[in-house]
Structure 1
């Protein structure tokens, strides 16, 4: 499972996450307002059917598939020979034995050579999530600013709600995220000798 979205937000809030809750929420609202505007403006300028990333990927895969060999199995199943390896493409299932199409929901390099050999429209086999219209709808909502704090009508509550009892653990609070299971940490590399495992301050080797 990927945590790219969580890590992106965590990196964005590296400074703001130390603010009080109300200020933190306002900081989140402000950058979401800016993000939605910038992405909505960028998508509105698209002239392509798909997003820029998807269009670029399809062009790249089409170029890579020019030397492949296509052998029909049936009207909807095709064998594609890629550098001596066989792959089975099923157009009716939007599937390929390489699993790229199944996972990414965009035709793989083997499916695209089949689609081109049949003179079909490759866009018809791409998930609608990659369409520019869907991308624009994703950022179509507006993140509006909230009113001034001085204008808020706060209901008076007589109940005194105390925070839960919390015992602060010893040591400095953790700032860096906890690595995911199976994630390999990158070892440091010395800029002086170009060897891994130490830095320039502790280097005992001759410079390269």
Structure 2
């Protein structure tokens, strides 16, 4: 996962890296300003309680759960059989599933979607982590990224010379 972030950052800054550091920093600041503005506006337009990513994942899991057979063990545990005749034990109380996807992503897996359908629930949004909620996303992007203004208007105060550290040999 970290490799993708580094590759994305490198691709983003490919052309700006050759520029002076002040221009590179301004490029990054303006990019963040643009992203925050767009994401803040996107969250305001959404009526679904989940982020677009989580909503898409959940829709895929609901589609995948169509032919699954659910056998209740008790009110919290279920045995779910998929189309390949694999059996998964799902515990709604502890939010665990033998497939491991539910614990890993914290988005309802296909087995949870099958259980929701079995119990005549309209959706399984309640088993998705709050990190994927649109409200959480709104809070992440609520702050503004402000420009620094023209460099000529910066007023230096208490300028002092900073020397490099003394290196002992």
Displacement of 1:50 in angstroms is: 0.8
The equivalent of 2:142 in structure 1 is 140
What displacement does 1:5 show? 2.5
Equivalent residue number for residue 25 of structure 2: 25
Q: Distance in 2 between matches of 1:132 and 1:160?
A: 46
Cα separation, 2, equivalents of 1:119 and 1:45 = 29
Paired residue secondary structure (2:6)? helix
TM-score, structure 1 normalization = 0.72
Q: Deviations over 1:126-181 (max 9, x none)?
A: 10111111112111110011122111122332x4635999xxxxxxxxxxxxxxxx
For 1:163 and 1:152, the matched residues in 2 are separated by: 27
SS of the equivalent of 1:147 reads coil
TM-aligned CA distance change 1:161 to 1:69, over 3 Å: same
- Aligned equivalents of 2:51, 2:60: Cα separation in 1: 14
Within-5 A mapping of 1:195-206: none
Tell me the number of residue pairs that the alignment of Structure 1 and Structure 2 aligns. 164
The superposition leaves residues 88-122 of structure 1 with CA deviations (integer Å, 9 ceiling, x where unpaired) of 10100111100000000011101110122123451
What does residue 163 of structure 2 align with?
161
Q: Which runs of 5+ in 2 are unaligned?
A: none
User: Displacement, 1:49?
Assistant: 1.1
Distance 1:104 1:87 in 2: 17
Distance (Å, rounded) in 1 between the aligned partners of 2:51 and 2:141: 13
Q: Deviations over 1:23-68 (max 9, x none)?
A: 2111110111011111111221112111122222212211221211
Larger Rg, first or second structure (1 or 2) = 1
Measured on the aligned residues, the alpha-carbon RMSD in Å equals: 2.0
Runs of 4+ that moved beyond 4 A: 162-165
1:53-132 counterparts in 2 under 5 A? 53-82=53-82, 83-120=84-121, 121-132=123-134
Task: Go from structure 1 to structure 2 and tell me whether the alpha carbon gap of 1:108 and 1:9 turns closer, same or farther (over 3 Å shift).
Answer: same
Query: What is the TM-score with the length of structure 2 in the denominator?
Result: 0.87
Structure 1 or 2: larger helix share?
2
Q: Distance in 2 between matches of 1:45 and 1:164?
A: 56
